Amino acid sequence: MTGAPTQNRKPLRSAEGATPAIAQWFAAKAAHPDALLFFRMGDFFEMLFEDAEVAAGALDIALSSRGEHQGEKVALCGVPAHAHEVYLARLIRQGFRVAICDQTETPEEQKRRKAPTIRREVTRVVTPGTVTEEALLEASRPAWLLALAPQATVLGAAWLDVTTGAFATERLAVAELPALLARLEPAEILAPEEFARSPELRPLADRVAHVAIPRDGARRLAEAFAVATLDGFGSFSAEEVSAAAMAVDYVKLTQAGGLPRLSPPVPSGGHGVLQMDGATRRSLEILRSERGDPRHALLSAVDRTVTPAGARELAARLASPLAEAAPIAARHDAVAFLLAAETVRGGLRAALKGAPDMARALARLSLDRFAPRDLGAIREGLARAEAMQAALDDAAGVPPIPALVAAARAALRPAESPRAELQRALADPLPARLEDGGLVAAGYDGELDALRTLRDGAREAIAALQMDLAQAWGVASLKIRHHQQFGFLAEVPSAAGEKLLREAPKQGPQAPVHRQTMANAMRFTCAALADLDRRVAEAGEQASKRERLVAQHLRRLCLSVAGGIAATAAAMAELDVHAAGAELAADGRWCRPEMTERADFAVVAARHPVVEAALARARGPAFVPNDGDLSAGRRLCLLTGPNMAGKSTFLRQNALLVILAQAGLFVPAEAARLGLVDRLFSRVGAADDIAGGRSTFMVEMAETAAILNQATARSLVVLDEVGRGTATWDGLAIAWAVLEALHDRIRCRTIFATHFHELTALAGKLPELTPATMQVREWRGEVVFEHRVGPGAAEKSWGVHVARLAGVPKPVLTRAQEVLKALEARARGLDPLSDELPLFARAAPPPPAETHPALEALAELDADSLSPREAHALIYRLKSLLGPVAKDTE
C-alpha cells in the first residue's frame, strides 16, 4: 500500500554495519516503506533517519541525532510511549500512515534467550480508516474505509467502519462516485493506482491508498467470514465482491493479520435512499458548513442525542435520508410515540446520558487491543440497556408501542449477557491500563487473590527486615527503598554508610554490600534483601500474569456473545435518535409531516432549522416563518426579490424540510404535506474550482447541467440565480430555457429564485408557474426587508440599498443611483421578451412533413371491419406503397 504523504522517499540505506536494534529498524522499515515507523526504545517511540525529519516537522518537536551510521549522523526524534496516542492522532489527521514497531517480549524473556537486543515487531499499521483508539476518533462520526474496484464505466464500492463493524457495498457508475464520496465523507479510500489519479479522486489524494484489486475476491471474502459462499449475505456484483475483498485484505494487513468483528456486508448500500450530489450536500450544509465547520450545519442544529453512538446514527440518517414511504412512516411512528409518552422518553434519555460506546469497545476487544475501560464499557452499557428496557416496560396506558420501538426494546436484553459476570469480575474503579494491575475485583479469582496476598504481604516482611537491619547495622534511620534497576536497597546516611564500609561483618545473610553512593546517603544490599526482592518480584509477576489471563477470559466471554452486544448497542443508538427527535419536536414546535406518494409539497409556517437555532443562540429576533406550496398546478415557484431579503434562506429551508422528513424526523412547521422525493438538487450560492480550472460560471453551468440531466418528475429542485455569472442577455436566455425545461420536460417541483424580473412574463405562458416575491416596504426613505414570501413579482432589486448596507462609499452609491436611473429611463418602453424577438420566441413546431401515400391509406381504413384476408391484402398494398424504403428497412 502507498499513501500520498510518504511517497517519493529516498531509497532506504543499507543495514550493513548497523547495531542489532538499528538492524531491526531497517527490517521493519523495509516491510513498510510508505509509513512512518514508531520504533519502541524503552519508554519512547523513536523515529530515525528521514522518518525523524518528516515527523519532527509534522509534530513540531525537536530533531536531534544519535551516533552515526555509514558515516552519517542518525537523525532522531521521539515521543513518550505512554502519551504516543496524542502524537499519533496529529499524524493521522494530517494523512500519514504510521507503523507501530513495538517490543514483543520482556527484558526477562530476552535474558533467557541470551539475545543481544529485545525482540521488536510491527504490531499494526495505523491509517486514517483503520484507527480504533478513542483519542484518534471523532466520537459522533463514523470512520469509513472506502474501497473502489473500477471496471470500465462502472465500479464496485465497499465501505466499512472497523470501530463498529458496519459493512456495505454498492455497484454504481463512475459518474456517480462524487455523490457517494459526498455522502460517506470517508476517512480513507482504497483504489488501484491508475484509478487513484482519476479526476474524481484527485482532490482527495492525501486520503487515497494505492491497493491492487485482489484475485478470487469471493473466496477471500468467504474465508474472512468463515462461510462456504456469500449467497447467504445477499446478491453481489463481481465489482462489489472485489471492492469488499480489497477492504477486508487491507484491514488484515494493517492489523498484522488480525481482523476486527465485522458484520456481513450488505449489498446495495445506497438502495432506497434520497439521492443528492456533492454540490447539493455542500449547498445545504447537512453535516458541516461550506467552510467545514460542523457547528453551523443542520446536524448540529437538530442534534439532541445524548450518546456518541446516537449522534453517529443521526448523522447517518441525515446523510442518507430514505426514499420509501413505509420505513419513513415507521420512524415517524417511533418519534410520535416518544413525543406523546413524555415519562418514557425522560426515562430513556436519563438511562442513555453518559452511556459508554459499546460498539467501539467491542471492536477494540475483537482486535485484542483493549484497555480495562473497554470491558467496563460493556458492563456499564448492558446495565444502561436494562434500565432503558425498564423505562419502556412502564409504557402501559399509552398508545401501543410502534414496531421500531418494540424491536429495539427486544434487543436491549440479549439472550446471553455477560453483564452479571463482568459485574462480579471487574474492580471499581478500573485502572487506565492492564499493566497497572487492579482490573479484577477481590473474591472473583481465588488463585489471583492468593498471589496478591503473597505480593502485598511483602510489605509486612519489608517492615520486619528494615527493623532487623537497623538493629544489626546499628543505623536507626535505615530505610528500605525500591530501585527500578537494583530492586530493594537499604538507604542510610553517608556517615553511617562510611562506618558500615569499615566495620560491618563481611559474612552472613545480613552482611552489607555497597551498591550506590549519593550526595547525602549511601545504599546497600544484602543476601536477605536480595531474597526478599526475588520473592516479591515473583509474586508480583505471577499476579500480573494471572490477572492478564482473567482479562483474556473476560474478553473471550464478551466476544462469544458479540452479536447480541452489537444488537443491543445498535438498539440503544436507535432509541437515542427517536427520543432526541421527540425532544426536538417538543421543544421547537415541530410537526409530523404527512408523507404521500403524490407530487405534493405544501407547508404552513415553516422555518429554517439552522437559522432559527442561530437566532435563538444569539437571542436575536424570532425567525419569520413562511408557507410554501409546490403541489399539482403550482409545481414551479418563480421567486424574485432583493438580496438579503431571505431568498436563499427560503430555498434551503424547503430542501431541508425534505431531508428532515425523509430521515425520519419531524419538521419545523405548523403543518406539512410532502410527496416523496427521489432526488434532491440545490444550486444556491457561487463557488469556483480553481484547482480544476473551472470558473464560477462554469461550475454553475456544470451543476445546472447535472440537474437537467438527472432530475425526474419526483425530484425537488431549488435553484438560485441561474445565469448571473455571464453577460445579461446570455444569462437571461439560459435562465429562460432552464425554466422552460423544468416546467415542460422534467415537470418536477421547483423553486427558482432570480433577479431577472423579465422572467415573470412566463407566468402567463407556463400554466404551473407561480410567481412569488420576498416582501419589502419603504418607511421614511428606508427599505425594510420583511423576510416574508408573498404572491406576485418584485418591482426592483434594491441592489444599491444593499450596497449601502455593505458599506460602499457614499460617492460611489450616488453615482450608482444616477447610472441606474439613466438605464431605467433608457429601458422604458422596451419589451425584450416580446414574441417578435427571436431570442425569446418559443421554439416553433417543425413544418409539417409531406404525407406519404402509405400513411394516407392507413388513415382511411377501418381496422375493426377488416377480415383476415383483407388485412393480408392490405399489408401487401402498404409494402408496395413504401417501395425502396421497406427494402432498406429490411
CB atoms within 10 A of CB 336: 18
For the purposes of burial, counting CB atoms within 10 Å of the CB of 379, is it exposed (0-12), middle (13-18) or buried (19 or more)?
Answer: buried
Assign domain 450-550 to a CATH class.
Answer: mainly alpha
Q: Is the dihedral of CA 551, 554, 559, 563 positive or negative?
A: negative
DSSP H/E element including 75: strand 72-80
2-126 is classed CATH 3.40.1170.10: yes
If one counts every other C-beta atom within 10 angstroms of the C-beta of residue 759, the result is: 23
Find out whether 12 and 35 touch, Cβ atoms under 8 Å: no
Pairing relation of β-strands 64-69 and 72-80? antiparallel
CA distances from 667 to 342, 594, 606, 607 (A): 19, 10, 8, 9
Torsional sign, CA 451, 456, 458, 464: negative
Q: What is the 3-state secondary structure (H, E, C) of 452-490?
A: HHHHHCHHHHHHHHHHHHHHHHCCCCCEEEEECCCEEEE
What does the alpha-carbon distance between residue 237 and residue 155 come to, in Å, rounded to a whole number? 10
Does residue 745 sit in helix, strand or coil?
helix
- pLDDT (tens digit per residue) in 797-853: 667 666 777 777 878 777 777 776 776 666 555 455 544 334 344 444 455 555 667
Separation CA 639–CA 794 (nearest Å): 9
Residue type, 763: A
DSSP string, 13-45: PP-TT--HHHHHHHHHHHH-TTSEEEEEETTEE
Name the amino acid, one letter, at 209: A
What pLDDT does 2 receive? Answer: 53
The pairing of strands 679-683 and 275-276 is parallel
Show the DSSP H helices in 626-689 as ranges: 647-663
Strands 98-103 and 120-126 turn out to be antiparallel
**C-alpha cell recorded at residue 8:** 517519493
Q: Is residue 186 within 8 Å of residue 272, measured between CB atoms?
A: no
* Collapsed DSSP state (helix, strand, coil) of residue 841: coil
Q: CATH says 135-214+227-256 is which class?
A: alpha beta
Cβ-based neighbours of 493, under 8 Å, separated by 6 or more? 475, 477, 520, 521, 522
Q: Which amino acid is at 28?
A: A
> How many CB atoms neighbour CB 650 within 10 A?
25
Cα distance between residue 724 and residue 493, in whole Å: 89
pLDDT per position as a tens digit, 589-642:
899 999 999 999 999 999 999 999 999 988 888 899 999 999 888 999 999 988
Matching residue, cell 475476491: 217
CATH number assigned to the domain with residue range 594-793, chosen from the 4 options 3.30.465.10, 3.40.30.10, 3.40.50.360, 3.40.50.300? 3.40.50.300
* Residue partners of 24: CB distance under 8 A and separation at least 6: 39, 101, 117, 120
DSSP state of 9: P
Distance CA 396, CA 344 (A): 10
Q: What angle do CA 203, 209, 215 make, to 5 degrees?
A: 125
Whether omega for the bond prior to residue 429 falls within 30 degrees of 0, making it cis, is yes
Topology alike, domains 323-417+561-588 and 450-550:
yes
Its pTM stands at: 0.82
Q: Is the CA virtual torsion 524, 530, 535, 538 positive or negative?
A: positive
Helix (H, G, I), strand (E, B) or coil at 640: strand
713 strand-pairing partners = none
Measured at the CA of 475, the angle between CA 473 and CA 477, to 5 degrees, comes to 145
Name the class of domain 323-417+561-588.
Answer: mainly alpha
Which residues in the chain come in under a pLDDT of 50? 3-9, 691, 830, 834-845, 885-890
Amino acid identity for residue 165 in this structure: G
Q: Looking at the DSSP assignment, which residues form a beta bridge with residue 72?
A: 69
Report how far residue 328's alpha carbon sits from residue 325's, in angstroms, rounded to the nearest whole number. Answer: 5
Distance of CA 354 to the CA centre of its chain: 21
Q: What is the helix (H) or strand (E) element at residue 493, kind and residue range?
A: strand 487-493
- Cβ-proximal residues to 322 (8 Å cutoff; 6+ apart), any chain: 272, 273, 274, 328, 331, 662, 663, 664
Instruction: State the pLDDT at residue 372.
Output: 95
Residue pair 136/86 in contact (Cβ under 8 Å)? The answer is: no
Q: What is the per-residue pLDDT for 819?
A: 73
Domain layout of the chain by residue ranges: 2-126, 135-214+227-256, 323-417+561-588, 450-550, 594-793, 853-889
pLDDT score recorded for residue 870: 72
Q: Supply the DSSP symbol for 645.
A: S
Q: Report in angstroms the alpha-carbon separations of 651 from 245, 323, 683.
A: 43, 21, 9
φ/ψ of 488, rounded to 5, equals: -75, 135
Decide: 624 and 779 in contact? Cβ < 8 Å: no
For residues 409 and 568, what is the distance between their CA atoms, to the nearest angstrom? 9
